[in-house]
Structure 1
């Protein structure tokens, strides 16, 4: 067996770690100069998203021999709507650094892999098919899956973020549900340390977001021109939302004086594969559809797809069977995402009022599959919207 892994991200490196433990040394190809994305970001893994597993890091170390150190164990999640604030306390989950940072989860996994990573790779998927018996596509996006007609795009996302320097408590993260700053999406603040944090906005792009739906937007014709690059004078919608977010951040947290390493992404596809494996090609990570539509994070499922693709290659499991479970979680998350797109700012205010206190804290403490249950309840109503 001669295995190529295309992509040195969470899923590809996790796949390599498991293969090496059982005596198979894969060849890892990465088109960038180092592991990690183009910029440094913060992400959180909330335990509520993958019940019944209550501790993701313990699960990976005990069950699969994959070891990760978080930035912090999260003790509080502060959520702001337009007019309310709700504090959730307990074991929320973990925060992590992602991207080009020596303690990013990609960098930590790379240090657990023995095989050299071939950086600056120009190999295509077709090249690897000619040279290797099996190919694991872990490219971090859906491009190859889409080319093979094996990817369904449900919506596209725009994001803008930056690193902010100041004073932070790494055990506390913040989120905003406010359609004026992230329409039908959210904004967040995740500390890297006591001195630095990542803040960002993320929201679905048109056709989900129509200009008329967004209160306080620039005129629709300016939005269209800015989105299509037809004028240099009109601000891009994402820049308008970002400016509003910084003003809201100053009101809720304090003036963000030291902002650097600003980045933005547009048109990032969120979707899922139809088939986790075609012939001797495995689709893992974001190439499979590990990004959960509800909040956009997907570290847990990205790692699991790499792990279980490796077990399938070793003859120790059935990747299609495991992937079917992950696709069910994806579809449940998509139902909640669709419901979120219909919630007004007044609705977010009411939601936080309901969740404030014992109800909200119970959601984070219970081992029950809260999101799966919520999706089943919401599904009939979503079809009517």
Structure 2
């Protein structure tokens, strides 16, 4: 038995980590010259999204022996709509993670913990590998390969434009903006590296890349952002689901497997857990789809919530933020173990606010 892993991102390295524990040999093929995105940035995961799991760092350490070190805790969330704002405070609301080629990035942390062979600058085709290896794990981060097999169904097709910016920031504060004038049904967010530098990103659905600059300028002008741009990057952001995550001896994980939660587009937790489960399915010769079903169900619930949000105009978004700012709702959402995403998705589904 020998496994080919396509992609040295979080999902692929999680598979490699677990295969090491099983003593199953593998080769990781990465088309780029390094693990992680070319432009360093700060990603986030929110505790409210991953319930009933409260702390993903403790979860991966206790359940899988995988030690991960986040950049910082999130202790404050500021949500801004055109006319309202909501502030959430807490000792732990989630984590910030360094991404890209930075020394302590999530990718480099995981890369340092694997023992097998990693071949950089090695683009490969799963059709070629499936006859050379017992199993092929597709962890390329995008649905391009799944799409070529006709098993990917698109839910969200948009663009992300982001900048690393300088200014004055609270290192533990996540800032989010929702405004259809510049984000349509997407959002903008700011995640700090430290008190002087941060990542600022805008996610916009159903536009072409050459339209990004217009919406980017509207964001800066309307919000009167006081930051200075250091460098800018753009990424095509496609979210969807797969009809199956296993085709014979080919397994699709992380973003390549449609395992990005559609509400806010977070993917760290699902990428890691799907990579670990791919290794388990290979080791035990069991159905990868069955192992993934709880995650696939959580993604569907998140998509129902996203579908409901997509129908809101700015007046409605103002009302949502005002509701979140209301003390009892704020407490219920962020300071109890209630699975808010699951409950809201059920309410929206019964109300017919689905795709």
TM-score bracket for the superposition, by shorter chain length:
over 0.9
TM-score relative to the length of structure 1: 0.88
The Cα offsets for residues 330-364 of structure 1, whole Å up to 9 and x where unpaired, read as 11111111111111111111112111133113211
Equivalent pair of 2:7/2:31 in contact (CA under 8 Å): yes
Hey, what does 2:116 align to over in structure 1?
Answer: 115
The Cα offsets for residues 90-144 of structure 1, whole Å up to 9 and x where unpaired, read as 1210011212222221111101111131001032212211211110011111111
Structure 1 residue matching 2:351: 3-state secondary structure:
helix
Hey, what does 1:349 align to over in structure 2?
Answer: 318
1:270 positional shift: 1.1
Taking the TM superposition and a 5 Å limit, the aligned residue runs for 1:2-81 are: 2-81=2-81
Superposed CA RMSD in Å reads 1.7
Structure 2 residue matching 1:45: 3-state secondary structure:
strand
Hey, what does 2:221 align to over in structure 1?
Answer: 247
Hey, what does 2:240 align to over in structure 1?
Answer: 271
1:176 positional shift: 0.4
CA–CA separation in structure 2 for the residues paired with 1:171 and 1:365:
17
1:318 positional shift: 4.6
Taking the TM superposition and a 5 Å limit, the aligned residue runs for 1:124-143 are: 124-143=125-144
Structure 2 residue matching 1:130: 3-state secondary structure:
coil
Hey, what does 1:102 align to over in structure 2?
Answer: 103
CA–CA separation in structure 2 for the residues paired with 1:298 and 1:123:
23
Equivalent pair of 1:96/1:192 in contact (CA under 8 Å): no
CA 320–15 in structure 1, closer or farther in 2 if over 3 Å, else same: same
Hey, what does 2:147 align to over in structure 1?
Answer: 146
Structure 1 residue matching 2:296: 3-state secondary structure:
helix
Q: Which segment drifts farther, 336-345 or 311-320?
A: 311-320
CA–CA separation in structure 1 for the residues paired with 2:124 and 2:278:
21
CA 106–384 in structure 1, closer or farther in 2 if over 3 Å, else same: closer
The Cα offsets for residues 138-173 of structure 1, whole Å up to 9 and x where unpaired, read as 111111111112211123011111001223221111
Hey, what does 1:203 align to over in structure 2?
Answer: 204
CA–CA separation in structure 2 for the residues paired with 1:171 and 1:383:
34
1:247 positional shift: 2.5
Equivalent pair of 1:311/1:318 in contact (CA under 8 Å): no
CA–CA separation in structure 1 for the residues paired with 2:35 and 2:270:
19
Structure 1 residue matching 2:284: 3-state secondary structure:
coil
Taking the TM superposition and a 5 Å limit, the aligned residue runs for 1:313-328 are: 313-315=282-284, 318-328=287-297
Equivalent pair of 1:338/1:382 in contact (CA under 8 Å): no
Aligned length: 353
Aligned: 1:173 with 2:184: no
CA–CA separation in structure 2 for the residues paired with 1:316 and 1:116:
23
Q: Which segment drifts farther, 111-120 or 313-322?
A: 313-322
Equivalent pair of 2:304/2:354 in contact (CA under 8 Å): no
CA 117–93 in structure 1, closer or farther in 2 if over 3 Å, else same: same
1:374 positional shift: 0.5
Aligned: 1:282 with 2:251: yes
CA–CA separation in structure 1 for the residues paired with 2:16 and 2:137:
10
CA 82–383 in structure 1, closer or farther in 2 if over 3 Å, else same: closer
Equivalent pair of 1:29/1:118 in contact (CA under 8 Å): yes
For the pair shown, which has the larger CA radius of gyration, 1 or 2?
1
1:317 positional shift: 6.1
Equivalent pair of 1:162/1:199 in contact (CA under 8 Å): yes
CA–CA separation in structure 2 for the residues paired with 1:347 and 1:45:
25
Taking the TM superposition and a 5 Å limit, the aligned residue runs for 1:295-314 are: 295-314=264-283
CA–CA separation in structure 1 for the residues paired with 2:329 and 2:123:
52
CA–CA separation in structure 1 for the residues paired with 2:78 and 2:44:
13
CA–CA separation in structure 2 for the residues paired with 1:327 and 1:96:
24
Runs of 4+ in 1 over 4 A off after TM superposition: none
The Cα offsets for residues 263-287 of structure 1, whole Å up to 9 and x where unpaired, read as 1124x32111111211111110111
Equivalent pair of 1:308/1:318 in contact (CA under 8 Å): no
Pick from 323, 341, 351: which aligns with 1:371?
341
